[in-house]
Amino acid sequence: MVWSSFTKSESAWYPESKANDVSNLLHVVTDLTAQLEELKHDREKDVTELSLLKAENMRFKERMEMETNYLRQRVTQLESSAQQAMPLLNQTRINRQSATTDKGHTAFYAILDQPLHAPPDGTTIKFSRVITNVGNGYKANSGVFTCTASGLYYFSWSVGEVNHGHIYSELKKNGMAVGWALSGDNTIASATSQSVILHLETGEEVDIVITYTGNSPVLWEKFSSFSGFLIV
């Protein structure tokens, strides 16, 4: 009776245990299948991203090659331009050095080369015989000195009169009178000198202008002059 009862009990327990194992195994398989599918999905995603990265990398390499080629061409062009510009740069350097040297040696001295008879009022005296013109600031054809180097200048002018007339002259800076002189005598030939000190900027102009005459004067060429130089 005891053995018969045990056999029936074991027979009832075994199918239930087997069913549980099968169920557990199915769960495991299902989980593994899900994980596998997820891994496949991740792998496909990685493959896609890798393909995109490869394509982007290829585009980047192509762009870099284009930019590198462009930069090489620009370097070649700049080197060629530099070689072409070198003579001009050398000449500019020489001109600057010359200008710097001339700045310390600006000076001029000019006189009349012939008598000037009864000049009208407003006449700029053209001292056409140039003795000294360091820096080429004075122009004999106009009688005007043009500043080529900024600084402090000394100017002097003389007006001789030989016909017993009278001459009123002015030194003008950019058209404005800054110095005055009266020449002439009723009985003898005479000459008057005057001087000024001016600060000039590059491009400013200085000249001698007759603003009034009386008794038909004649400018005496031997005693009529205009000079100036850079002090500092």
Residue-wise pLDDT tens digits, 54-104: 888 888 888 888 888 888 888 888 888 888 888 877 777 766 665 555 556
Q: Which CATH architecture has domain 104-230?
A: Sandwich (2.60)
Other beta carbons within 10 Å of 172: 18
pTM over 0.85: no
Q: Is the pLDDT of residue 119 over 50?
A: yes
The domains of the chain are located at: 16-99, 104-230
